[in-house]
Structure 1
Amino acid sequence: MCYSAQIWADYKKFTRQFGAILSVGEFTRIYWERREGGSPKIPKAIELAFTEPRDELEAQVKQMIDEAREAELGRIGARIAIQQEKIAEAEAALQKRVTKKSREIIRVANNRIDAEQAKADKLQRTEPAEDDDRIWPGDYTLVMVKEGDRKVVKPMRYQCRLPGWTLADEKAKPGTYNARRDSLRSVWKRLYGYNHGIMAATHFYERVARHDYEQRALADGERPKSMELEFTPQTGEPLYIPVLWYAWTDGVEELLSCAAITDNPEPEVAMTGHDRTIINIKPEHVDAWLNPDPKNLAAMDAILEDKRHPFYEHRIAA
C-alpha cells in the first residue's frame, strides 16, 4: 500500500512533461464546494501553483480559490467569536466565584481559538512550506487522464469510491486508495481497462512495525510499535504511478476519486518490513496506459509487469 506520498502538485509539471492541459471545470468545482462550506482536503501546494496566473483559465481557478479562502476565513472568524463569548461569560462568572468549571471552559475555548487561528494562518500563507505537496488517503491529488486527443490534469480524491457504492460502503471499506494488482480483474473490473490515469510523485511513505524493520521477533510482553519510512527513487526521477479512477454521482453529489495500483514489494522495500509497493511505470508506456482497450487487458498487464525498478532508498521519517 502507499499510505502517503509527495506529489506533483503543480499541474504545469504535467504540461511541460506531457503537454497536458488544465481541467478548469474540475478545479473550480472542488473550490466551489469549499466556498460553500464543504471540506475537500486540498494540498496547499495545489492552490499555490495558481498564485500568479498566466492566462484566463488559470485566473478563473485562482478567483475561485480566493473566494473559497475568504468564505472559510469568514466561517473561522464566526467560530472564534463564539469561543470568545464563552471566555467572556466564564471570566465574568469567575469574578463572582472561582470554579473549576469556568476555568475549564476558558482553557478549552482558548485551545479552540488557537486551532482556528492556525487554520486561518495556513489559508492566508503565500509561501510554500514542507509537506504542502504531501497527500494522505482522503486528500486531493492531481491525476492526468486522456480526453479525446488531449491529456488533461484533474484534481481527484485519493480514495476511490467504486461504481455502485454508497457513502456507507466507502466507510465500511476505507482502503480503496490502493488497488492491488492481483484484484484488478475482480474488485476493480469496472475500471481496469476503462478509467486509467497517472499520478506523479517524488517520494512515498509507508508505516511498518518497528520489530519487522529491525528484523526481529517481539520480545516477551513487548507491544508492536509502528514507524514511518520515506522512500525515494535512487535515480531521482519522479514516479509515474498508474491509477484507476471513477466519476461517482448519486444525482446530487459528484466525486472524482482514484486509487494507485500496488504490486508485490520491491526487495529493498520488503527488507524494511512492508509487503506492497506502488507500481512505477516507464515513461514510454504512459500514452498506452492512458488509452486502454478493455478487450486487450493483456496489453495493460504487460505495462504493469514492465515497471521501473529504480531502487528505493529509505529513511526513517517519523
Structure 2
Amino acid sequence: MGQGHRRTNLIDEDERIFPGWYAPVLIVENGRRVVKPMRYQCRLAGKSADYDRLYPGTYNARRDNLEGFWGGTFGYTHGITVVSAFYENVSRHKAEGRELAPGEKDESVVLEFRPSEPQDMLVACLWSHWRDRNNEPELQSFAAITDDPPPEVAAAGHDRCIIPIKPEYVDSWLSPDPKNLAALYAILDDRFRPYYEHSLAA
C-alpha cells in the first residue's frame, strides 16, 4: 500500500490510487451496501497466484471485453469507487497537440483529468474474491471499467477513459442480473458525462 499509512501529513500523491494499492469499493453483500478495501488490480477467482505478473493490466476492464475476459464478474460482482479525478500516462508531444520533433525522444508525462465542474464521480467497477488452496491469503480486488475516450481526453493523448455512472443507477449496477446484460450495458452507455479538463499532475 505504499508508505502513506505511516505518515500523518497529506501529500499530493495521497489523492491517487496506483495499481496494487488498496481503495474503498462500494458493493452489495447479503442485500446491504457495504464499503470494503480492495486492491486496485483484479485477480480473477480461480486463477493462479502469478496471474498478477502475467496480466499486469487488470486494474482496468475494457468495456468491449466484459463478456470475454471479464465474463465471470460482469453481471455478477459489481462495485463502485468514488473519485474526483483520474490520472493517465501520455506522450508529452500528444498532450501538447503536436508531432515528435526530428530527433526528439518520446517522453511520458502524467496528466490529471478532472470534471470542469468539480464533483465526485461514481466509477463502474468489477471485483473478484480470490481464494487459494495453498494457504495463500485471500484477496478481494477490483478493476475500473474503461471505454473509448471522449474527444477532449483523446485530444490530450489518451485512448481510454473511466465510466462514471449516474446516481439513479447505483442500485441496479450493484445488484446486477446476469440474465439481462443489456440493462447493464445501458447503464454504462447512459453514463455521467462531464467535460474533462486536464493538467500536468503534481
TM-score by length of 2: 0.94
Q: For 1:192-203, what aligned pairs fall within 5 Å after superposition? A: 192-203=74-85
CA spacing shift, 1:309–1:129, aligned 2, 3 Å: same
| SS of the residue 1:155 aligns to | strand
Provide the residue aligned with 2:35 in structure 1. 153
How far 1:169 sits from its partner (Å)? 2.5
Q: Deviations over 1:66-116 (max 9, x none)?
A: xxxxxxxxxxxxxxxxxxxxxxxxxxxxxxxxxxxxxxxxxxxxxxxxxxx
| SS of the residue 2:52 aligns to | helix
How far 1:166 sits from its partner (Å)? 1.3
How far 1:160 sits from its partner (Å)? 0.3
CA spacing shift, 1:269–1:144, aligned 2, 3 Å: same
CA spacing shift, 1:217–1:132, aligned 2, 3 Å: closer
How far 1:211 sits from its partner (Å)? 1.5
- Work out which of the residue numbers 234, 245, 248 in structure 1 matches 2:127: 245
- Work out which of the residue numbers 89, 96, 113 in structure 2 matches 1:214: 96
- CA separation in 2, counterparts of 1:133 and 1:218? 31
CA spacing shift, 1:183–1:152, aligned 2, 3 Å: same
CA spacing shift, 1:43–1:152, aligned 2, 3 Å: farther
CA contact (8 A) 2:45 2:131 kept: no
CA spacing shift, 1:238–1:151, aligned 2, 3 Å: same
- CA separation in 2, counterparts of 1:136 and 1:306? 27
- CA separation in 2, counterparts of 1:219 and 1:307? 38
| SS of the residue 1:179 aligns to | strand
RMSD between aligned alpha carbons? 1.5
| SS of the residue 1:132 aligns to | helix
| SS of the residue 2:81 aligns to | strand
Structure 1 unaligned residues grouped into runs of 5+: 1-40, 48-122
How far 1:227 sits from its partner (Å)? 0.9
2:144 pairs with 1:260? yes
| SS of the residue 2:122 aligns to | strand
- Work out which of the residue numbers 276, 279, 286 in structure 1 matches 2:160: 276
Q: For 1:301-316, what aligned pairs fall within 5 Å after superposition? A: 301-316=185-200
User: Which structure: greater strand fraction?
Assistant: 2
- CA separation in 2, counterparts of 1:207 and 1:42? 20
Q: Aligned AA for 1:259?
A: A
- CA separation in 2, counterparts of 1:229 and 1:282? 24
| SS of the residue 1:167 aligns to | coil
Q: For 1:1-318, what aligned pairs fall within 5 Å after superposition? A: 41=1, 44=4, 123=6, 125-251=7-133, 252=135, 253-318=137-202
**Range 130-139 or range 254-263, more displaced:** 130-139
How far 1:219 sits from its partner (Å)? 2.3
Q: Deviations over 1:17-49 (max 9, x none)?
A: xxxxxxxxxxxxxxxxxxxxxxxx1684xx6xx
Structure 2 unaligned residues grouped into runs of 5+: none
How far 1:216 sits from its partner (Å)? 2.2
TM-score by length of 1: 0.60
CA contact (8 A) 1:43 1:132 kept: no
The number of residue pairs the alignment matches comes to 200
CA spacing shift, 1:262–1:302, aligned 2, 3 Å: same
CA contact (8 A) 2:46 2:131 kept: no
Q: RCO greater where, 1 or 2, for CA within 8 Å and sep 6 or more?
A: 2
Q: Which protein shows a greater Rg? A: 1
CA contact (8 A) 1:248 1:255 kept: yes
CA contact (8 A) 2:173 2:187 kept: yes
- CA separation in 1, counterparts of 2:9 and 2:51? 39
- CA separation in 2, counterparts of 1:163 and 1:153? 20
CA contact (8 A) 2:27 2:33 kept: yes
